[in-house]
Chain A
Amino acid sequence: MAGILILGEIEGDALGSITGELATVGQALAATSGDEVAVALLGGTPDSFAGDAIAAGADKVYTVADPLLADGQIDAYLSAFEQAVQQTSPSVVLIGKTELGRDLGPRLAFRMGVGVAQDCVELSVDESTGRVSALRPVYGGNAMAKVTFQGDGIQIAVVRPKTTEAPEPDTSRTGETQALSVELESSVIKARRVDTVTQASEGVRLEDATIVVSGGRGLGGEEPFETLAGLASMLGGAMGASRAACDAGWLDHSYQVGLTGKTITPDLYITVAISGASQHMAGCSGAKHVVAINRDQDANIFKSCSYGVVGDWNKVLPAFIETVSELINS
Chain B
Amino acid sequence: MALNIIVCAKQVVDPETPASAFRIDPDTKQVVPAQGIPPVVNGFDENAVEAALQIKEASSDATITVLSVGSGFVMDVMKKPLSMGADQLILVDDPAVGNLDAFGTATALAEAIRKIGEYDLILCGRQASDWDNAMVPLGIAEILGLPCITIAQKIEVSDDGVTVHKALSDGYEVVKAELPAVVTITNELGEPRYPTLRGIMTASRKTPTVWDASEVGLSHDQLSHKLDLTELYIPVSDTECEFIEGEDDADSGRLLALKLREARLI
Contacts and interface: CB of A to CB of B under 8 A. Distances in A.
A230 interface: no
Contacts of A300: 19
B70 interface: no
Contact of B13 (A139, A305, A316, A321): A139
Given A138-B130, A309-B244, A143 B142 contact: no
B253 A315 contact: yes
A302 interface: yes
Given A117-B227, A197-B172, A260-B187, A315 B103 contact: no
A110 B143 CA distance: 7
Identify whether the interface residues of B are mostly helix, strand, loop, or mixed: mixed
B249 A308 contact: no
B102 A319 contact: no
Contacts of B130: 138-139
B2 interface: no
A247 B153 CA distance: 12
B257 A323 contact: yes
Contacts of B169: 99, 207, 254, 261-262
A99 B167 CA distance: 10
Interface in B143-180: 143, 146-150, 153, 166-178
B35 to A, nearest CB: 17
A31 interface: no
Contact of B142 (A110, A142, A292, A308): A110
B147 A191 contact: yes
Interface stretch (A34-42, A48-56, A145-153, A216-224): A145-153
Nearest to B172: A197
B132 to A, nearest CB: 6
B175 A192 contact: yes
A99 B169 CA distance: 9
B132 A259 contact: yes
B139 interface: yes
Nearest to A115: B226
B134 interface: yes
Contacts of B266: 211, 235, 268, 324, 327-328
Contacts of B135: 106, 116, 118
Size category of the A interface is 35 or more
Nearest to B187: A247
B235 A143 contact: yes
Contact of A144 (B228, B232, B243): B232
A181 to B, nearest CB: 24
Interface in B101-140: 102-103, 106, 126-127, 129-135, 138-139
Interface of B: 13, 15-16, 19-20, 22, 24, 31, 102-103, 106, 126-127, 129-135, 138-139, 141-143, 146-150, 153, 166-178, 181, 186-188, 191, 224-235, 237, 239, 241-245, 248-254, 256-261, 263, 265-266
Interface of A: 75, 99, 102-103, 106-107, 109-111, 114-119, 133, 137-140, 142-151, 153, 190-201, 207, 211, 235, 243, 247, 253-254, 259-262, 267-268, 277-279, 289-293, 297-298, 300, 302-312, 315-324, 327-328
